[in-house]
Structure 1
């Protein structure tokens, strides 16, 4: 007979009570969703929602949607997906971009909007965590208002903490390859988060995450030289501005490039092909600024004003789509593009757009997410978020000034990277993305070529050393999967499986 001392018994009791508390906590914070309001029948995929505490001081919790792979969940990669915008819900990625559901576009009649299965979701190839980050986005919340005072760095650290805790609660996925992904503004923070994970692994942080790489779509870098300046040659190339206007803004562009070269100690031979070296001396005398958001004389200001007026005549997120209703007054294109917010971000209860607008689908999400049956199905904590908004206007510190150094560091250390651009996006045109990719000075291992889906061109791609792939999506807009879902799913599926595009 085995005798247990009182001390040992108390220790065992403490462990049991701790386990009980943890189990109760998990039951309270995790919901397995088998039915969604507006979706016909039970879900054909595994959906889990829940909260993870990432700010103990202020009681800040991040809400997530987790969708298991429709292939082989035990072996397929885990993709953490971040939606663009500084305070935008992950639901946009889930329902409009890469998730397995989408809205049925019908006129809103007061009943719950309808959902249907999306056949081109990335969940065909990966398990995906859609994250309402930063705190204040979607259903994420803070008990103390101070918890909403976050920025790029704070949020990235909280996301890293989220992953450590989430994998601690889901150890069955620890052996799966992990990738970090995001588009638009999140394309700037995704590489920084990837670096935080890498550094945590090297420091011996547990659990050890099986990090393999990252992907970014139509990404911001934080550098106006790439994010803003390349809008000019793009606008000229697609016929939005004339030769005459381009020539004026073109000179400004050359000036800014030379200023950028001087301040970053680059060599003049790195000038893009559309910049004439013969203007070198003139340019050096006029270096007084860095980007189009800060015109330094009357001629520049007038030229940029004309440029903004003309580019405001197209959709921005997709140059071929109609210009649709905005909730807030439309800013000038230069100012609006600086933070890469698309034209359809709702920062308050949306006004109904015309039915032909793509934004009508976003309009439906407001009523779906704020329906009591939806909140009950998703396991939303009562009293935390009174009104769900696709994007929320709260103070946010833009404190990552450039992501390019993280791209360079990560790819140089062996992490895989996919950088892609919808070629009809004028907010973050592929020319700027291609330029910063080439600025890394990696060797081209597979030159510029077309890639195909079902016998048709899906876009164009170039592969570099250090496992870096750049691709365009033909016909894609600012969030490419939203506009060309079949092509993007094929691109992602090939890349994530280590196959050439």
Structure 2
């Protein structure tokens, strides 16, 4: 007698078949659309001692509509349990490869003169991937190796926010093994504007039941642009650091009445004082006031009186001196435009003709301050680390302290030094809203670029939920 399967066992068989079908489809689409391993990189000797994946995540309705490029480095400790972080470099429009190679990734350029061959890469001992899985993403579209049919339509603050959120959920669908890992969002400089808004959108999406659920824990920001009024604090900072005289400082305060950005064109005495200020600082590196002055390629704006953006946004790439930190940016451009490098990174041919470190054209500024997002995220209980290199003139630490004070949270652990190998690494203060503020002693804008030996232990303690 033939025994027919019960309704339950039949249903179970159907579930297994459906799961196998979905798994097969995932394999097929994975080959076509998602990340590929990179085992060897031109310029790096031997096989990579860490796991690197590169790939694209499509956000549009068609394959070539909106393609976001990313670099993913697995934690060198315990990828299954260590936190996952998405890193967004500032600009806006600077490739996250800058964060990977110049700041917190597992390799960096050897600082030697370019000879026409592929620039050499060496291991970075203070890589944050020693204890964290990190996705470095090229956003907004048009940045790095990310591309779109109609770039202009996709380049604004809010588009950047929505695209980063969409990217992350799609990336996690393709990497379900990281769904349970604690997730953090990181960035620096201009990222101080979009990142809090992105974190807010991720949180709201979780609350609405969007899938997959993101195990969001918090965020960290270095020398972050936050109010778009940071230039106003440059005067006080420059005076405190002995870059302008007491007399000029007093005159600026009197004649400009604390407003140094939107100056009335009829206020000639204020404009004259600002011109004197600019002359005093014309040969100072605004990103690290102790560094030698070098012409840089960064798109971060300068005050718009005598030092115009056109100074630093020349379309011709010239080599800075080897002693300039910007020499690394020059090597980056040479490296990323090498055919062998593009092949190794699995870059789609014909998508990006010339890679530029920072692409700022046609970007629409829509978010004019991110304090409200910080306040909202604090109420929801997310952890945050805000750190500032204390020799940064572009976004002075006092600007950052000022907006943190407006959040009006009580102090849990008051101002004190934090240490690296028995030496003061900077100063820190912790607030009741789980926000930690830290200065990084002797460091500049994008502190991780200047002092990785201090920033690595700072990050290690914070991500491990230990006091600095």
TM-score normalized with structure 2 length: 0.91
Given the superposition, is the C-alpha separation of residues 336 and 163 from structure 1 closer, same or farther in structure 2, using an over 3 Å criterion? farther
Match of 1:201 in 2: 206
Q: Distance in 1 between matches of 2:300 and 2:432?
A: 42
The aligned runs of 1:164-313 (5 Å cut-off) are 164-224=169-229, 227-251=230-254, 255-256=257-258, 291-295=260-264, 297-313=267-283
Match of 2:293 in 1: 323
Between 16-25 and 403-412, the greater mean CA deviation after superposition: 16-25
Given the superposition, is the C-alpha separation of residues 327 and 427 from structure 1 closer, same or farther in structure 2, using an over 3 Å criterion? closer
Between 20-29 and 428-437, the greater mean CA deviation after superposition: 20-29
Q: Distance in 1 between matches of 2:166 and 2:268?
A: 49
Query: Is 1:23 aligned to residue 27 of structure 2?
Result: yes
Q: Distance in 1 between matches of 2:380 and 2:307?
A: 32
Query: Is 1:108 aligned to residue 118 of structure 2?
Result: no
Between 16-25 and 151-160, the greater mean CA deviation after superposition: 16-25
For each residue in 1:428-456, what CA deviation from the matched residue of structure 2 results, as whole angstroms up to 9, or x when unmatched? 01011011111111101111110000000
Q: Distance in 2 between matches of 1:488 and 1:452?
A: 11
Match of 1:263 in 2: none
Instruction: Note if contact 1:315-1:323 (Cα within 8 Å) is conserved in structure 2.
Output: yes
**Which of the numbers 420, 427, 431 marks the counterpart of 1:460?**
427
Match of 2:8 in 1: none
**Which of the numbers 72, 77, 102 marks the counterpart of 2:78?**
72
Match of 1:411 in 2: 378
1:309 Cα deviation after fit: 2.1
- SS of equivalent to 1:50: strand
- SS of equivalent to 1:228: helix
- SS of equivalent to 1:32: strand
Given the superposition, is the C-alpha separation of residues 26 and 222 from structure 1 closer, same or farther in structure 2, using an over 3 Å criterion? farther
1:308 Cα deviation after fit: 1.9
Instruction: Note if contact 1:113-1:368 (Cα within 8 Å) is conserved in structure 2.
Output: yes
Query: Is 1:55 aligned to residue 22 of structure 2?
Result: no
For each residue in 1:227-259, what CA deviation from the matched residue of structure 2 results, as whole angstroms up to 9, or x when unmatched? 111111100011111101101222367x44xxx
Q: Distance in 1 between matches of 2:210 and 2:290?
A: 48
**Which of the numbers 72, 85, 89 marks the counterpart of 1:83?**
89
Between 478-487 and 386-395, the greater mean CA deviation after superposition: 386-395
Between 159-168 and 19-28, the greater mean CA deviation after superposition: 19-28
1:222 Cα deviation after fit: 3.6
Given the superposition, is the C-alpha separation of residues 343 and 184 from structure 1 closer, same or farther in structure 2, using an over 3 Å criterion? farther
Q: Distance in 2 between matches of 1:365 and 1:328?
A: 13
Q: Distance in 2 between matches of 1:467 and 1:113?
A: 42
Instruction: Note if contact 2:381-2:434 (Cα within 8 Å) is conserved in structure 1.
Output: yes
Instruction: Note if contact 2:296-2:326 (Cα within 8 Å) is conserved in structure 1.
Output: no
- SS of equivalent to 1:230: helix
- SS of equivalent to 1:162: helix
Match of 1:421 in 2: 388
CA RMSD of aligned residues (A): 2.7
Given the superposition, is the C-alpha separation of residues 155 and 467 from structure 1 closer, same or farther in structure 2, using an over 3 Å criterion? same
Match of 1:160 in 2: 165
Q: Distance in 1 between matches of 2:357 and 2:330?
A: 9
The aligned runs of 1:315-354 (5 Å cut-off) are 315-326=285-296, 333-334=303-304, 348-354=315-321
Q: Distance in 1 between matches of 2:298 and 2:289?
A: 20
1:298 Cα deviation after fit: 1.2
Gapped runs of 5+ residues in structure 1?
A: 257-289
Given the superposition, is the C-alpha separation of residues 329 and 211 from structure 1 closer, same or farther in structure 2, using an over 3 Å criterion? closer
1:148 Cα deviation after fit: 5.1
Q: Distance in 1 between matches of 2:377 and 2:126?
A: 29
Query: Is 1:475 aligned to residue 442 of structure 2?
Result: yes
Q: Distance in 1 between matches of 2:377 and 2:301?
A: 35
The aligned runs of 1:364-443 (5 Å cut-off) are 364-443=331-410
Q: Distance in 2 between matches of 1:106 and 1:239?
A: 34
1:55 Cα deviation after fit: 2.9
For each residue in 1:402-438, what CA deviation from the matched residue of structure 2 results, as whole angstroms up to 9, or x when unmatched? 1000011101210001001000100001011011111
Instruction: Note if contact 1:103-1:114 (Cα within 8 Å) is conserved in structure 2.
Output: yes
1:17 Cα deviation after fit: 7.0
Query: Is 1:94 aligned to residue 100 of structure 2?
Result: yes
TM-score normalized with structure 1 length: 0.86
Gapped runs of 5+ residues in structure 2?
A: 6-10
- SS of equivalent to 1:305: helix
Q: Distance in 1 between matches of 2:311 and 2:220?
A: 23
Instruction: Note if contact 2:152-2:363 (Cα within 8 Å) is conserved in structure 1.
Output: no
Q: Distance in 2 between matches of 1:414 and 1:96?
A: 32
- SS of equivalent to 1:176: coil
